[in-house]
């Protein structure tokens, strides 16, 4: 598994991804023929066990202080702090004139937030004089580490797999090549991607224009239909009001 995140292209066009593994145990990732990432296989991939491990014989001392700040020991809670209620009776509330204590029970004023309330008290924070910094676990050489100067070398590749996580459907994979000749891979790139990418972009842009035009037309049609329906509803309401007024006039006569 790689330790680096190499972002994929996110548009809807064709793209070419190339991984080059070199005999010096380095690699290079290209997208559409352009270099995007590179490094050592041993550094950026989990092929080998780590060279260094945390010393199992060492542990953080029990008296190690790794808190940079502490409560101020000279700070104390002011007198009466806890006596200030979070909620108080609304001073502007009045018992309704029609309130019946026997029928409605004892009247209680609604409560509001107390503007004098200051929240939970906490001491001021100050620098901790005992702070020793973050404890770093000492490391030692990993006795199980075994180097491999042929990480790059594969003598038998039986299949190619894709491990995908995506939020959009519709990804298509085609023209997969495994070769020990970069020139051969570049030739396939030129024949399948470079040759067609401009025409594909033109076709995509034209299709997008048609799609947007169709969406705009559908939206305007829906807005027109909605507006017509609202006008018809308003006319029906006015007609109903006129009929009601006319009926009232006849009744008065």
Taking only the tens place, the pLDDT of each residue in 170-192 is 888 888 999 999 999 999 999 99
**Quick one: pLDDT at residue 253?**
60
What average pLDDT score do residues 235-247 get? Answer: 72
Question: H or E segment at 125?
Answer: strand 125-127
CA angle 50, 51, 55 (to 5 degrees): 90
Q: How far is CA 212 from the centre of its chain?
A: 28
Which of 156-170, 190-204, 228-242 is least confident? 228-242
Q: Encode pLDDT of 42-52 as tens digits.
A: 999 999 999 99
For the question of whether the overall pTM of this predicted structure is more than 0.75, the answer is: no
DSSP conformation class of 110: P
Q: Is it the case that residue 112 has pLDDT exceeding 90?
A: yes
**Quick one: pLDDT at residue 243?**
73
DSSP conformation class of 77: P
Pick from 164, 163, 193: nearest CA to 177: 193
Q: Which residue shows structure tokens 């066009």?
A: 13
Exposure string for 94-131, b = 16+ CB within 10 A, e = fewer = eeeeeeeeeeeeeeeeeeeeeeeeeeeeeeeeeeeeee
Per-residue CA distances from 219 to 38, 208, 210, 231 (Å): 48, 16, 14, 18
Rounded distance between C-alpha atoms, residue 77 and residue 122, angstroms: 8
Average pLDDT score, the chain? 90
Q: Encode pLDDT of 70-107 as tens digits.
A: 999 999 999 999 899 999 999 999 988 888 888 888 88
Rounded distance between C-alpha atoms, residue 82 and residue 86, angstroms: 10
Rounded distance between C-alpha atoms, residue 192 and residue 205, angstroms: 20
Neighbours of 152 (CB within 10 A): 16
Q: Is it the case that residue 57 has pLDDT exceeding 70?
A: yes
Q: Encode pLDDT of 207-217 as tens digits.
A: 999 999 999 99
């Amino acid at each position: 598994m790689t330790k680096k995140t190499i972002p994929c292209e996110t548009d809807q066009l064709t793209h070419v991804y190339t991984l080059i593994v070199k005999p010096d145990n380095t690699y290079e990732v290209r997208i559409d023929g352009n270099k995007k990432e590179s490094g050592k296989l041993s550094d950026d991939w989990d092929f080998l066990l780590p060279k260094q491990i945390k010393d199992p014989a060492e542990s953080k001392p029990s008296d190690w202080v790794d808190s940079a700040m502490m409560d101020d020991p000279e700070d104390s809670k002011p007198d009466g702090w806890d006596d200030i209620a979070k909620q108080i009776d609304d001073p502007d509330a009045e018992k309704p004139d029609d309130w019946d204590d026997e029928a409605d029970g004892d009247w209680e004023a609604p409560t509001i937030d107390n503007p004098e309330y200051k929240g939970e008290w906490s001491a001021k924070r100050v620098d901790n004089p005992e702070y020793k910094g973050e404890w770093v676990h000492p490391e030692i050489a990993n006795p199980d580490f075994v180097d491999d100067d042929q990480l790059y070398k594969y003598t038998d590749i039986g299949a190619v797999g894709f491990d995908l996580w995506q939020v959009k459907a519709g990804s298509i994979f085609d023209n997969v090549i495994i070769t020990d000749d970069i020139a051969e891979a570049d030739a396939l790139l030129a024949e399948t991607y470079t040759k067609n990418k401009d025409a594909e972009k033109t076709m995509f842009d034209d299709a997008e224009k048609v799609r947007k035009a169709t969406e705009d037309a559908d939206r305007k049609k829906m807005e027109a239909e909605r507006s017509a329906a609202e006008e018809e509803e308003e006319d029906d309401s006015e007609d109903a009001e006129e009929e009601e007024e006319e009926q009232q006039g006849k009744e008065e006569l």
